[in-house]
Amino acid sequence: MIKAIIFDLDGTLLNRDASVVKFIEEQYERLNDVLGYIPKEEYIKRFIELDYRGYIWKDKVYQKLTQEYNIRKISWETLLEDYLATFKNHCVPFPNLIHMLEELKKRSIRLGMITNGFGQFQMDNIKALGITDYFDSIIISETEGLRKPNPAIFHRALNRLGIDASESIFVGDHPDNDVAASMNVGMKGVWKKDPQWNDVEADFIIDDLLELMPIVERF
């Protein structure tokens, strides 16, 4: 019987790709007086390239942008502060997020989250999705001093939920940090498909979050 499901955040519950596009388009328009000499599509495209799907922290991204486009009227530090303060206003959930969480709670399944990232920034995004109260435990790598794929962070999450690995599922989009790492500690690994990767080894593969329900009902 499955007693707990633990989720990744970015690329699993939060559609980060769509959120980044919304954010950078709005930032460009809002700061058009200092960025407007750069063609909009070029600026957006370059930000997304440098961001590398969130794996490059934004201090490096904005430093590179200000150098490449010779941005003088605003500092990279100010651009970074703006990102930290306003990204939460552009968070896009994956379809059926709330529906899926409600269905799992109806079944008395304990819910957890493990996300690599900075504490307040990630919490702001989780709150923006309106899902905080569905979770019994939320673990953010900066706060814990541990990052996926370290097995210790999975054990910590399971301990806080009071559930054995064999009675739990982990859902994530990264083949190594999420799926393989969770399976290595004895959890069932569910890969939420991401077009960046192919041929991912997982116990189950889903496209839509609601596809979790028949998986849960199998056990």
What residue ranges do the domains of the chain occupy? 4-15+92-217, 16-90
Compute the distance between CA of residue 118 and CA of residue 128 in angstroms, rounded to an integer.
15
What would the pLDDT profile of 117-128 be if each residue is shown by its tens digit? 999 999 999 999
Compute the half-sphere exposure of residue 46: CA atoms within 13 Å on the CB side of its CA: 17
Dihedrals phi, psi of 75, to nearest 5 degrees: -85, 160
What would the pLDDT profile of 16-36 be if each residue is shown by its tens digit? 999 999 999 999 999 999 999
Regions of the chain short of the pLDDT cut 50: none
Compute the half-sphere exposure of residue 61: CA atoms within 13 Å on the CB side of its CA: 23
Compute the distance between CA of residue 35 and CA of residue 32 in angstroms, rounded to an integer.
5
Q: Quick one: pLDDT at residue 195?
A: 87
Compute the distance between CA of residue 162 and CA of residue 96 in angstroms, rounded to an integer.
27
Topology classification of domain 4-15+92-217: Rossmann fold (3.40.50)
Q: Quick one: pLDDT at residue 171?
A: 99
Compute the distance between CA of residue 163 and CA of residue 5 in angstroms, rounded to an integer.
10
For the four alpha carbons of 73, 75, 81 and 87, in that order, the dihedral sign comes to positive
Pure H helices in the chain: 16-30, 32-35, 40-51, 58-68, 76-86, 97-106, 119-129, 141-144, 151-161, 181-184, 212-217
Compute the distance between CA of residue 100 and CA of residue 77 in angstroms, rounded to an integer.
38
Residue type, 25: E
Quote the pTM value.
0.94
Q: Quick one: pLDDT at residue 199?
A: 87
